[in-house]
Amino acid sequence: MLDWILKGFLKIILVVLLISAGWSFITQLFTPAKHQAAAAQSQPGTLPAPMPRSNGPAPAATKPNVDPKPSPAPIQPVSSPGRGLPPADPPQAIPPAPPPIDQTKPVLSATHEKIRFQLQSAVGQGATLVVRITALNNDIDRMIEISSAPWSKTLFYDESGSTFSPDHVSVGNTRDDATKTRAMLVAGVPTDILLKFTRLPIVRGKLAIRDIKLLQLDVALFSAEQAYRNSFFAPIAVSTPMFRNVQIRDDDEASGQVVPEKTKR
């Protein structure tokens, strides 16, 4: 009797469970969306299931609320290639041209290679002209050589443009030898240079030439070592001192000082 009662009670419970399971299945079958929404709400952190596809047009996608991109700053016009760079140095001003040389003004001195040449006198005696020049060496001892060869640059020009070369040249008490005169210029010691021109044109017993328009010397310099070794093939320097507009004085009226040519007005 008791066994029959227990079996009947178990059967009732089994029937109730089957009915409950069937009802739950039917409920899920007809209401899936509501069940999925409830499941999504019950499980935080999960994404909701996609919505069922519909035949209508899809809604337009909305852009996220992002700040618009700032527009670029306007480009400034460039006025010059060097804009933004430090200003360049201004071009150097061209120095003005030196004033023209007055060709009528007497020029009685010249300095070359630290040797000052000073024309002291130009004296005529008959058909002979003697020009005396002082050379002052302001540097170390050096040997000077002055050429009197016909092809050298030691000569002078007269008023008509004619040229004349010296027949004799002496430096100190050293005379020319084979058209060349060499002598030592001691530092700080003035040394006389004499140029002797002969067979010049004369008028009534006096020189016809009254003015030296241009006088120049053909000078070569040698070191003291070259002078001691008698090596005169390669001078250390060459120069051409020039003098202009020198008046020639006659021997009977010469006073020992040169008289410049009178400037024409």
For residue 67, being part of any structural domain is answered with no
For residue 96, being part of any structural domain is answered with no
pLDDT at 17: 83
Contact 185, 141 (CB under 8 A): yes
- Whole-number Å distance between alpha carbons of 226 and 193: 21
pLDDT at 1: 67
For residue 4, being part of any structural domain is answered with no
For residue 211, being part of any structural domain is answered with yes
For residue 206, being part of any structural domain is answered with yes
Contact 219, 239 (CB under 8 A): yes
Question: Which residues of the chain are under the pLDDT cut of 50?
Answer: 256, 263-265
Quick one: tokens of 8? 């009947």
Length of the chain: 265
For residue 236, being part of any structural domain is answered with yes
Quick one: tokens of 94? 């061209």
pLDDT at 7: 78
Quick one: tokens of 221? 């310099």
pLDDT at 118: 97
pLDDT at 83: 58
For residue 19, being part of any structural domain is answered with no
For residue 176, being part of any structural domain is answered with yes
* Residue 139: domain span: 109-253
pLDDT at 200: 96
Q: CATH code at 192?
A: 2.60.40.3590
Give the count of domains, the chain. 1
pLDDT at 264: 45
DSSP 215: E
- Whole-number Å distance between alpha carbons of 100 and 110: 18
